[in-house]
Structure formats: C-alpha cells, structure tokens
C-alpha cells in the first residue's frame, strides 16, 4: 500500500517517519529507475547503489546526449524532499510503506512545478 502526503504540516512528520523506516529496514544495495517530472527536460535513469553509494547510472531516456547524469541514493532523495519542504512551494510526496523509500515528490510553485518518480525498486545482494 502506498502512502501519500498532501499537506505541508503533515509531510514533514510523514517524511521523517518513512526516513526512519528506511534507515531501519532499507537495504544498503539496490537498483531503481529515476525519472524527472514537470517543466524540466524529461530524463529517465537506471541507478545502482552498492553499500549506500551510487555505483552506476544508465540513461534510459532521452535518446540524445544529456551529459553525465547524476544518480542519487535514497538518503539523497530524502535530503531533496527536506529541501523542498523548507521552500514556500506546495510539495507532495508518496512513500513505499514496507521499506519507507520515496516513490515520488512534486513541488508546485505556481507556473513552474517539478519533481521526480522512483520505480522498479529492487534490492541487490
């Protein structure tokens, strides 16, 4: 079951609760697909994390060169959510209820909104 966080006041504690769940149960090695959302160029990446450090990033989309993309650990994605919650924009985040990792985050600042999604999460041995 997925959790959604729609109000800024509730998001902070929901984020902290899911971050604590991730710290308690999250694997140190995993893979996932990261995709940007909103006004920015749509980029889709396959990110591999080994021992809590990004070990590889493969560009899945767009087909044209986007330079050297940066992948993120789940801990870094939580840092991004905390920064967004500190901004004056409305931020909505969803989390995996079993391990706590974020599934998506979107910030709406009026005409400019942006965010990201995390899919195809799999633990690695």
**Model's pTM, two decimal places?**
0.85
Alpha helices in the chain (DSSP H): 8-25, 74-86
What secondary structure letter does DSSP report for 70? Answer: P
Strands 53-61 and 90-96: what pairing?
unpaired
pLDDT digits (tens), the chain, 125 positions: 344 444 333 456 899 999 999 999 999 999 999 999 877 778 999 999 999 999 999 999 987 777 788 899 999 999 999 999 998 888 999 999 999 999 999 998 766 788 999 999 999 97
Q: How many CB atoms lie within 10 A of CB 120?
A: 9
């Amino acid at each position: 079951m997925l959790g959604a966080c729609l109000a800024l006041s509730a998001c902070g504690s929901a984020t902290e609760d899911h971050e604590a769940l991730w710290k308690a149960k999250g694997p140190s090695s995993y893979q996932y697909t990261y995709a940007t959302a909103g006004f920015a160029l749509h980029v889709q990446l396959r990110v591999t994390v080994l021992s809590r450090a990004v070990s590889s990033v493969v560009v899945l989309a767009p087909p044209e060169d986007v330079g050297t993309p940066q992948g993120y650990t789940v801990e870094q994605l939580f840092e991004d959510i905390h920064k967004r919650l500190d901004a004056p924009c409305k931020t909505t985040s969803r989390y995996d209820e079993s391990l706590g990792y974020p599934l998506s985050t979107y910030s709406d600042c009026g005409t400019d909104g942006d965010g990201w999604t995390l899919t195809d999460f799999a633990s690695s041995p």
